[in-house]
């Protein structure tokens, strides 16, 4: 078990498909990750990415503390299927004083309990289903992420409707209530969106705004009439 008291960036408990993918992605990004699972084979698989990998069958507070997870800046509980274990483990992590505790939930009822005890909650299956549904039902929306009850970030591919217009001429903020936060053109990505930036067909823009406004803009991109061009 770990006795080092230095801070660790991330702790991941549970190496199911979600937890294993999460821990692997973090480790491959160069982040220091501590992982815990009851399955020794899964721990062996991930030890080539992090030496802080522990087999723990009983997720009691005492056993968790022996791994050193209390030194993590963020801990993620990825055992949503076992609701009682998920809630108790999350409660133990929060009581240890870990600054940020995130817990996976498989139902909104479970999520409400986790939120009540102070955890951030993620719904991986639900969120992926929403993103896929929006991609399937829209010809122009390439990706879709929910930020809150009504605010989303979406990637959209531009049509000829905005060809040759600048950001200020297109005026998406006034017309659609959307803000452009990034633009991709070929292999180049622009993150500083200036009013003079020219828009072209097949540019991919990343916008943030209300879901209904994004749908309205997507419908506009598919429509035939020419967009009124200022200036």
Residues 138 and 217 placed together within one structural domain of the fold: yes
Domain shared by 13 and 101, yes or no: yes
Residue 144 structural domain: 127-222
Residue showing tokens 């084979």: 41
In a domain, 3, yes or no: no
Widest CA span in the chain: 69
- Are 102 and 137 contained in the same domain? no
Q: Are residues 28 and 98 in the same domain?
A: yes
Say if 231 falls within a structural domain.
no
19 & 38 share domain: yes
Give me the number of domains the chain comprises. Answer: 2
pLDDT of residue 6: 59
Do the Cβ atoms of 185 and 197 come closer than 8 Å? no
Shortest CA distance to 140 belongs to which of 156, 124, 154?
156
Query: Does residue 150 share a domain with residue 114?
Result: no
Rounded to two decimals, the pTM is 0.59
CB-based contact 102:73 (threshold 8 Å): no
* C-alpha span between 53 and 173 (Å, rounded): 48
Is residue 81 domain-shared with residue 107, that is, in the same domain? yes
85, 106, 122 - which closes a domain: 122
Question: Is 227 among the domain residues?
Answer: no
Burial class for 207, CB neighbours closer than 10 Å (0-12, 13-18, 19+): buried
Q: Which residues, listed in sequence order, are joined to residue 138 by a DSSP beta bridge?
A: none
Q: Which of 122, 139, 173 is the last residue of a domain?
A: 122
Confidence (pLDDT) at 88: 96
Give me the tens of pLDDT residue by residue for the chain, a chain 231 residues long. Answer: 544 455 789 999 999 888 998 999 899 888 999 999 999 999 999 999 999 999 999 999 999 999 999 999 999 999 977 899 999 999 999 999 999 999 999 888 999 999 999 999 988 776 665 555 555 455 455 455 555 556 778 888 899 999 999 999 999 999 999 999 889 888 888 888 899 999 999 998 888 888 889 889 988 998 764 444 444
According to the model, what pLDDT value does residue 212 have? 87
Asked if 13 and 107 sit in the same domain, the reply is yes
Together in a domain, 115 and 134:
no
Burial class (CB in 10 A: 0-12, 13-18, 19+), 116: exposed
The answer to whether residue 61 sits within a structural domain is: yes
Asked whether residue 12 falls in the same domain as residue 118, the answer is yes
CA separation for the pair 155, 103 (Å, rounded) = 27
């Amino acid at each position: 078990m770990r006795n080092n008291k230095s801070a660790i960036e991330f702790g991941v408990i549970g190496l199911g498909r979600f937890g294993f993918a999460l821990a692997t992605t973090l480790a491959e990004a160069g982040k220091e990750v501590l992982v815990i699972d009851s399955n020794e084979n899964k721990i062996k698989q991930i030890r080539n990415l992090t030496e802080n990998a522990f087999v723990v069958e009983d997720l009691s507070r005492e056993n968790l503390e022996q791994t050193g997870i209390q030194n993590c800046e963020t801990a993620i509980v990825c055992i949503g299927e076992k609701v009682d274990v998920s809630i108790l483990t999350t409660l133990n992590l929060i009581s240890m004083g870990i600054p940020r505790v995130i817990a996976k939930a498989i139902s909104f009822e479970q999520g409400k309990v986790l939120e009540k005890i102070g955890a951030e909650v993620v719904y991986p299956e639900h969120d992926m289903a929403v993103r896929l549904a929006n991609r399937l039902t829209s010809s122009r929306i390439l990706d879709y992420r929910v930020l809150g009850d009504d605010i989303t970030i979406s990637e959209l591919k531009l049509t000829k409707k905005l060809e040759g217009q600048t950001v200020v001429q297109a005026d998406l903020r006034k017309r659609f209530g959307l803000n452009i936060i990034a633009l991709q053109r070929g292999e180049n990505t622009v993150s500083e969106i200036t009013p003079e930036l020219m828009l072209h067909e097949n540019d991919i823009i990343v916008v943030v705004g209300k879901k209904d406004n994004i749908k309205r803009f997507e419908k506009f991109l598919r429509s035939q009439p020419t967009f009124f061009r200022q200036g």
